[in-house]
Structure 1
Amino acid sequence: MRLLGKYLCAIAISVCAVSAGYAAPLVEPTLHLTPHAGSGRVALTLDACGGQTDTRILSALVDNRIPATIFVTGIWLKRNEAAVEIMRAHPDLFELENHGGRHIPAVDTPQKIYGIRSAGSPDAVLAEVESGAAALIRTGEPAPKWFRGATAEYSPTAIAMIRKLGFKIAGFSVNGDGGSLLGAKETARRIAAAKDGDVIIAHINQPTHAAGEGVVQGLMALKQKGLTFVRLDETDGVGNDGTTD
């Protein structure tokens, strides 16, 4: 009842839309870093949805001192304690943020996005966001400030609810690995093409996919170009559709 009362307006909008048989178009928000004088900056964000850890990527980040923001689910945290310990041992490199409790799309109407069933209701969206934050806090990490939902697609009313919880929503400007489904060559090409102000999304939870090799190659190309890597907590990011303002 407390949550329903707090988010009454957003929930009422969602309920009216469902009752009318109408669902607003989903939003896939972008995110760019604010302009900065000096050398070019990019933010690497990696989703850890479920499954295991791609040690090719994790080792490359540690060995080459590349900072990254890792969006972790409660599911991934339970299965990858060793990787979490490595990340926690390098607080100067890794920022852990909220990817939800069970990797459920933050969409408050019933539908499937890329084959994944959405949360389907306002209460379920809130549960996904809050359970993901709680899972992170239980590991001893600071309370997360950013949220990225499964599939990176949102209903507008869900965006409003998540923002009222105090989270910024992490979009992106470069889709590095196509959900970890691209080959190594195309993944490397996309990431290597990132420019000043870009926010890259890729995945660190698919160690058997060729995309992981491409992530490493692309990052090495950016490093060779002299771009600086920053975490989201080190800079301001500007997103559209009310995701950061």
Structure 2
Amino acid sequence: MTKIAICAIALLLVVTTLLTAAPSEELQALSSRIAKEFAGKTPQEWGENSTGVRTRLATGDKVLALTLDACGSPKGKGIDQKLIDFLTQQQIPATLFINARWIDANPELFKQLAANPLFEIANHGMRHKPASINGRSVYGIDGTKNIRELVEEIELNARKIEGISGKRPRYYRSGTAYYDELAVQVANRLGHDVIGFSVLGDAGATLPADKVKAALLSSQPGDIVIAHMNHPEAGTGAGIMAAIPLLKKRGFRFVRLSDYQLQ
């Protein structure tokens, strides 16, 4: 066997070890402590509006919170650059919920977004799983199977975001935005507010532009809008860009989640 082949095998072993390494002892201790706290508890709720999920801003001001997800699935690692450029040019703030897989696929773009003061970065999990403490599923997607896996789903991406951006995220939205009420409490223990929505902007990036526009134009003061920034082929961007000037004419302002209390 040549020296080059031996070196290649050694490098592969190192990479494999890194990818399969167990979480740090600190993370294990955190998972164990939270698992012990919730031991024997059984969730009673499952959905987008489980107890503790924040769905609106606590204000009567004429403001809207635009939240954009980047899910990082094999078909969802793109970026709607036209939409991001529009928000930047028009100085429209937004909260970006970003999954670890999307970060890995777009590392330099993530750094640019994190450095843009218009945007705040939020946690969309490591593997885009529904937030369950007992493996509930939705839309054919398996949720986290237990407390430990849920802690890793949230905490590993929080640490990833903080390691790159220098700022730990305050907000978490699970893959599919489904939760049981105990999973919401676990996220709270990890320092995250769990964010739902009150305006379904693009139905998972499946709506055409006219329906996205109509959804946003139905907004009321204090609404949280959910849409996606990782599907440039969808009608999401065009619909948002069409709606924002009309909403501004109606007197609405756009804000980040951190600009207001949540309810």
TM-score, L = length of structure 1: 0.86
1:113 Cα offset (Å):
1.1
Question: 1 CA distance for matches of 2:55 and 2:240?
Answer: 19
Q: Secondary structure at the match of 2:38?
A: helix
Matches within 5 A, 1:1-245: 2=29, 3-14=31-42, 24-29=44-49, 30-36=54-60, 40-50=62-72, 51-91=77-117, 93-238=118-263
Question: 2 CA distance for matches of 1:129 and 1:85?
Answer: 20
Q: Secondary structure at the match of 1:42?
A: strand
| Kept after mapping to 2: 8 A contact 1:44/1:231 | yes
Letter of the 1:80 partner, please give it.
N
Question: 2 CA distance for matches of 1:85 and 1:161?
Answer: 28
Residues 35, 145 of structure 1: CA spacing in aligned structure 2 closer, same or farther, 3 A cutoff?
same
Letter of the 2:88 partner, please give it.
V
1:138 Cα offset (Å):
1.9
Over the aligned positions, Cα root-mean-square deviation in angstroms equals: 1.7
1:97 Cα offset (Å):
0.9
Letter of the 2:56 partner, please give it.
H
Gaps of 5+ in 2: 1-27
TM-score, L = length of structure 2: 0.81
Bigger-Rg structure (1/2): 2
Q: Which runs of 4+ in 1 moved over 3 A?
A: none
| Kept after mapping to 2: 8 A contact 1:41/1:228 | yes
1:233 Cα offset (Å):
1.2
% identity of equivalent residues: 31
Gaps of 5+ in 1: 15-22, 239-245
1:10 Cα offset (Å):
1.9
Residues 106, 221 of structure 1: CA spacing in aligned structure 2 closer, same or farther, 3 A cutoff?
same
Letter of the 2:122 partner, please give it.
E
| Kept after mapping to 2: 8 A contact 1:74/1:135 | yes
Q: How many residues align?
A: 227
Letter of the 1:31 partner, please give it.
T
| Kept after mapping to 2: 8 A contact 1:96/1:141 | no
1:36 Cα offset (Å):
4.6
Deviations for 1:24-53, whole angstroms, at most 9, x for unmatched residues? Answer: 33031351111255xx11111111111111
